[in-house]
Amino acid sequence: MRKSSLRRSGAALAAATSFALALTACGGTTKSDVKSDNASAASAGKADPNAATKKGLTVGFLPKQVNNPYFTTSDKGGEKALAELGSKYKEVGPSSATDTSGQVSYVNTLTQQQVNAIAVSAQDPGALCTALKQAMSNGIKVVTYDSDTSPGCRNAFVSQASAEDLGRTEVQLLAEQIGYKGEIAVLSAAQTATNQNTWIGYMKDELKDPKYKNIKLVKIAYGNDDAQQSFQQTQGLLQEHPNLKGIISPTTVGIKAAAQYLSGSKYKGKVKLTGLGTPNDMRKYVKNGTVDGFELWDPAKLGDLAARTAVALVSGQITGKEGETFKAGDTTYTIGKDGVINLGKPTVFDAKNIDQFNF
């Protein structure tokens, strides 16, 4: 008994030591590496747009949540792109969208495994920063995709679309659906999610326009990207606010659960629902009159661009500085302010076009 527990603690110590060694293997954090979280962490040196694309790299994808079909699709896009580029893909991640300490552990594991790059969708803007900075100081390139960290904690952010456009257009869609009048609510994902919080910020700003003077945002609820919690939060919103006219759910998990609740209730077709959903999840709710229209980008294309950005960073074709350009597939992307790369414009789906999309 004693012997085995001693052996176990010996093994734990050895593991901890080799982990610490791995973390400092490529040089510890120097003062100049430590930038404020607000300034983008573009890599040092100059980009060489003509540098050869490196092969045989390993890029670790770390989504907010592994059992979310949205991330299954996005990360498959990353896997496919990496195979095309002659590099390797791996995916690790928590099963809950509110497990920030789980995400931190996965960053540390990927650092220990000395992957060449990490592509991460952050559950929280700050929680991963220490771990990601440690990864970067070990020479690992860090790309956030879908949900950013503070800019100083990654080299570049691959954004699904302009965050401002997404926030404003969701309000515009709902306002039209409810005739510019009535109480509305937001059903979000995790309370700390960078992407949802940024979009909600733009929604609130959009609502300041006098044309929305008869619309009142009464509540922001959080379903934590969990189907059951999102369903219950929808039910709660309608109980608390019997005059509710519309809900915006900027999460694929939330909008699906809200649609499911509404379609089986007396509110079907009366309380409007829009936000960000996948056509495959939402098709039946559009067809049965629960939902008029909603939007999204192609998640597989987001994963594809995250993978290609990671490889371009490792290859030295870009460093993450504003104004740098690189080719991803057939498209040339330009890095914007704070190291942000925009995938493109989202698509609005409704009864007329939804059958043309399969994701």
Q: Which amino acid is at 30?
A: T
- State in angstroms the smallest separation of the CB of 139 from ligand RAM: 28
For ligand RAM, give the closer residue by CB, 23 or 190: 190
Q: Does 70 bind ligand RAM (CB under 6 A)?
A: yes
Closer residue to ligand RAM in complex, CB, 252/342:
252
Binding residues for ligand RAM restricted to 292-331, rule: CB under 6 A:
none
Residue nearest to ligand RAM (CB): 70
- Strand partners for 145: 158
Nearest to 306 by CA among 81, 97, 151, 114: 81
Is residue 22 exposed (0-12), middle (13-18) or buried (19+ Cβ within 10 Å)?
A: middle
In whole angstroms, the minimum distance from the beta carbon of 232 to ligand RAM comes to: 17
Contact 48, 318 (CB under 8 A): no
- Of 257 and 318, CB closest to ligand RAM: 257
Q: Is 110 an interacting residue with respect to ligand RAM (CB under 6 A)?
A: no
Closest residue by Cα to residue 161 from 349, 35, 340, 358: 340
**43, 64, 313, 335: residue in contact with ligand RAM (rule CB under 6 A):** 64
Q: Which residues pair with 187 in a beta bridge?
A: 221
For the bound state, the minimum distance from the C-beta of residue 188 to ligand RAM, rounded and expressed in Å, comes to: 8
Q: Does 103 bind ligand RAM (CB under 6 A)?
A: no
CB 117 within 8 A of CB 123: no
β-bridge partners, 296: 347
DSSP H or E segment with residue 249: strand 244-249
Please say which residue, 23 or 119, places its beta carbon nearer to ligand RAM. Answer: 119
Does position 259 bind ligand RAM by CB under 6 A? no
Pick one of 62, 140, 276, 343: the residue that binds ligand RAM (CB under 6 A).
276
Distance from chain centroid for Cα 169: 18
208-237: which residues touch ligand RAM (CB under 6 A)?
225
Give the CA distances from residue 89 to residues 81, 117, 199, 291, in Å, rounded to whole numbers and listed in that order.
9, 10, 30, 37
Task: Give the interface with ligand RAM as residue ranges (CB under 6 A).
Answer: 64, 68, 70, 121, 146-147, 189, 195, 225, 251-253, 276
